[in-house]
Structure formats: C-alpha cells, structure tokens
C-alpha cells in the first residue's frame, strides 16, 4: 500500500492563504514523516478548521488517521478527498485497501456512477457550460438554411452531451440531498427502528459507508445494498458536509 504524501512547500503555497498556514502544513508533513502522528493530525485538522479544502489535505489526514489506527476517520477523509479528485489512483487505492482491512460495509456502485465519477462536480459543471456555449455559438454562426439536416444532427449531439454533463452534476449534487455517511464509532449496527432498544438489523463496522434516505430525531435511515435501517447520527459523520 502506498502512503506517499504530497508535501512540498510549492503545493502548500498554492492552497494556503498566508505564510502561517503554509508553515503549519509543512510542520504537519514533517511530523508525519517523523511518525509523530498525533501532532500531524492536529495540524492538518487545524488547517481544515481554517477553511482549507483540497484533496491532498484530506488524503494526508486520512493517511495520518490510518497510522493512528482510526479506520473510521481514515475512510471518512479518503471519501472527502475522493469528492474532489475521483480519478486519483492513490485515493482510490488507499480507500479500497482500508475498507477491506476494516472489514467495513460499502454500497455497490452502479455502472452509471462509475462513469459520472470520472470527473468531479466542478469539472462536469465546466463541461456543461462549454457545451451550452458551443451549442449557442453553433446555432447563431454556423447553421445555415441550406444545411438544416447537418445542423439538426449537430444540435442533437450537442444537446445529448449537455444532458449527459447535467446528469454528472446531479450525481454529485445527490451528496447533499441524500448524503453519504461514514460510521466513525466502533461496534455499530443498523436497527429496524429509530429507537435505542430496537432490534438490530445488520452490522455496520467502523468505517462502513452508507447513503442517507431520511432523518428523524437524531437518527438516520440508511441504505446499503438493498438493505435499510436506522443508526444514530452521533455515530456517523457526513462525507463532504460543505457541499452547497
């Protein structure tokens, strides 16, 4: 398993707003390299609390939590990194590895989701904007009365590409309407009802991932691979909680 860090001062200068934050990032990387994982975690968490959002930061924090032995937080932050950079091979590799090592439950991914995860939400938005403008420019400046058939065909293709990009945007927007959650407490089970003494339905080991269907009085109704149950909100953490 690869646990390489993207550490250089050059990268830090690109994502931080001031020299103090850049120095803190460098200190976190040095602490990790020195196997001072608790210190590295605290420094990376401080950067998050300052409002920084970048896949490298979440990836490094996830690696740190893995070294500490907290699989729940490690998987949570790999998922946060994945939200920004779904094609990154290191993020995908480490997430898959730690899910297996934690014996965690995770939802099966539909073939359409695999396609939409080839780009993140910002990239789908940029592509949709590009195709919209190309369609508009094509209609105004390229289409001619004597080329109606060709114009119609090109418009259909452009519209289909635009709809496909909009579907990609919707895939990532679903992370707000039906958020993904990670179980961050050990020894959890999904229950048949939102009651502390309800019967257990299925196990949700630490690090397990699920989709939220509904919430009620401090409980989430979650769904994992055609099974649904209830789990306390205090035992899970939402992936990408900052999504607008």
pLDDT for the residue 76? 97
Least confident of 207-211, 225-229, 239-243: 239-243
pLDDT for the residue 8? 47
Is this prediction's pTM over 0.75? yes
pLDDT at 5 over 60: no
Least confident of 54-68, 124-138, 142-156, 175-189: 142-156
Q: How confident is the model at residue 50 (pLDDT cuts 50, 70, 90)?
A: confident
Residue pointed to by tokens 């259909």? 156
Q: By C-alpha distance, which of 63, 67, 87 is closest to 77?
A: 63
Element (H, E) at 211: strand 209-216
Residues found in the chain: 244
Residue pointed to by tokens 């999904």? 190
Least confident of 21-25, 80-84, 142-146, 214-218: 142-146
pLDDT at 145 over 80: no
pLDDT for the residue 57? 93
Instruction: Please count the CA atoms within 13 angstroms of the CA of 58 that sit on its side-chain side.
Output: 26
pLDDT for the residue 142? 64
b vs e for 181-192, b when ≥16 Cβ sit within 10 Å of the residue's Cβ? bbbbeeebbbbe
Q: What is the mean pLDDT of the segment spanning 48-52? A: 88
The answer to whether 198 and 191 have CB atoms below 8 angstroms apart is: yes
| Sheet of strand 200-204: strand arrangement | 200-204, 188-191, 227-232, 219-224, 209-216, 180-183, 236-238
pLDDT for the residue 23? 84
Q: By C-alpha distance, which of 57, 63, 30, 31 is closest to 44?
A: 57
Q: What is the mean pLDDT of the segment spanning 100-115? A: 91
Q: What is the mean pLDDT of the segment spanning 28-38? A: 95
Q: What is the mean pLDDT of the segment spanning 30-58? A: 93
Q: Could you give the percent of the chain with pLDDT greater than 90?
A: 59
Q: Could you give the percent of the chain with pLDDT greater than 70?
A: 87
Most confident residue range from 21-25, 51-55, 136-140: 51-55
3-class SS of residue 131? helix
SS3 content of the chain, % helix, strand, coil (to 5): 55, 15, 30
Q: How confident is the model at residue 190 (pLDDT cuts 50, 70, 90)?
A: very high
- Angle of helix 55-68 relative to helix 19-33, nearest 10 degrees? 30
């Amino acid at each position: 398993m690869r646990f390489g860090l993207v550490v250089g001062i050059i990268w830090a200068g690109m994502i931080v707003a001031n020299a103090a934050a850049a120095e803190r990032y460098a200190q976190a990387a040095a602490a990790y390299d020195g196997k001072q994982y608790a210190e590295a975690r605290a420094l990376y968490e401080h950067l998050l609390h300052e409002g920084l959002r970048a896949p490298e930061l979440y990836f490094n924090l996830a690696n740190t939590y893995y070294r500490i032995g907290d699989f729940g937080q490690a998987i949570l932050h790999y998922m946060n990194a994945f939200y920004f950079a779904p094609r990154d091979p290191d993020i995908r590799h480490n997430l898959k590895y730690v899910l297996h090592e934690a014996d965690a439950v995770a939802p099966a991914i539909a073939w359409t989701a695999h396609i939409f995860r080839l780009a993140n939400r910002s990239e789908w938005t940029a592509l949709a904007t590009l195709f919209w403008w190309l369609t508009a420019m094509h209609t105004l400046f390229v289409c001619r009365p004597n080329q109606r058939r060709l114009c119609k065909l090109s418009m259909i293709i452009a519209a289909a590409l635009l709809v496909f990009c909009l579907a990609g945007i919707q895939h990532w927007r679903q992370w707000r309407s039906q958020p993904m959650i990670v179980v961050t407490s050990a020894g959890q089970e999904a229950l048949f009802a939102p009651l502390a003494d309800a019967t257990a339905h299925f196990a949700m080991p630490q690090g397990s991932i699920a989709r939220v269907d509904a919430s009620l009085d401090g409980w989430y109704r979650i769904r994992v691979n055609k099974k649904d149950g209830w789990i306390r909100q205090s035992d899970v953490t939402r992936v990408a909680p900052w999504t607008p």
